[in-house]
Structure 1
Amino acid sequence: MTTHLEALQGALASALGERVATTVALGEITLVVKADDYHAVMQTLRDNAALGFDTLIDLCGVDYSTYGEGTWEGPRFAAVTHLLSVKHNWRVRVRVFCPDDDMPLVQSVTDIWRAANWYEREAFDLYGILFEGHSDLRRILTDYGFIGHPFRKDFPVSGYVEMRYDAEQKRVIYQPVTIEPRENVPRVIREEKYGMK
């Protein structure tokens, strides 16, 4: 008798074949897809009756530039998607790496799952990942005049500019950051018998 996870692995292997690399860790399946195959694989994951991943739970960007304490040698940016099949009660994670670090670009999946719309906008805003075919790819969390992408590992902690309201000009203005860098030392409270009864 096969387990739930083995049944999912079998269904994925027969539907997707060699287009994906599959890993299993901690009871979860991760599919790594090449950027060229990404849209077609996602379409198959939704439309194949044996799979039926009808719900996109989450999509986020990842910056791997300092992954593994700097030992990572692969592409810098990836988009990671979590899918759910309500019919089969299956979950899967799909990771696609952007082939170009200078212009991270992958295909949009908003035509497959409408829920991807704001998630892709967030990944664009925070990581600079571009989603080809997205109908309204613009900032969603930062201001439209914001410079850079704040979740990138090389983005400065204090940012580049700050905005404030100028009463004389009666408008919001941008100016260079005036925050002085400081080092915070956390206060540690130690109790001898903490957590013991």
Structure 2
Amino acid sequence: MRYLLVALMLLAACKEEVVQDTTALPLTEEAVGHYCQMNLLEHEGPKAQAHLGGLPGAPLFFSQVRDVVAYTRMPEQSHDILAVWVNDMSATGATWDAPGASNWITAEDAFYVVGGRALGGMGAPELVPFSKRDDAVKFAAVNGGDVMQLSQIPDSAVLAPVALDGDTTDDDFDNRLRALSRNSEG
């Protein structure tokens, strides 16, 4: 019994903790949006990626920064979120049409323009990330919105329903839910 205990202690001492690499990966032709499953390079606006525990080398990519923030706030996620990266719109050469393939900053370090007129790759209002606060302020002056850090972004900016161009629904989300409830009751 004593030898078994010593052997277990030695095995435990020899166990190396392997740290998962969460370095941002460049956008390539193979990168598709987690929700839409569309090629990210075909859409304008900044993109994002989330690295999940237990899934090394295979981050989830997002067509819009708004989508990754929503993803991080949903309680039903099955894996720990280890790192989130967003395109740095302050980077040299970053444009709305081509935000960059490898100009990533951590989501926590970015300054976001929230609530402006900019629409992301899937047509929803976008959270536009910058590494430089002054660049975010300039963008907001032209496009509207407020400059915030990640922890300041309200859930309503990422989790609320969005009416997209061409949406012919003349009721808002709550009215449609009420109508569905009335139909199921009677």
State the TM-score, normalized to the length of structure 2. 0.29
Greater relative CO, 1 or 2 (CA 8 Å, sep 6+): 2
Higher helix share: 2
Q: Which structure features the higher share of strand residues?
A: 1
Task: Tell me the TM-score normalised to structure 1 length.
Answer: 0.28
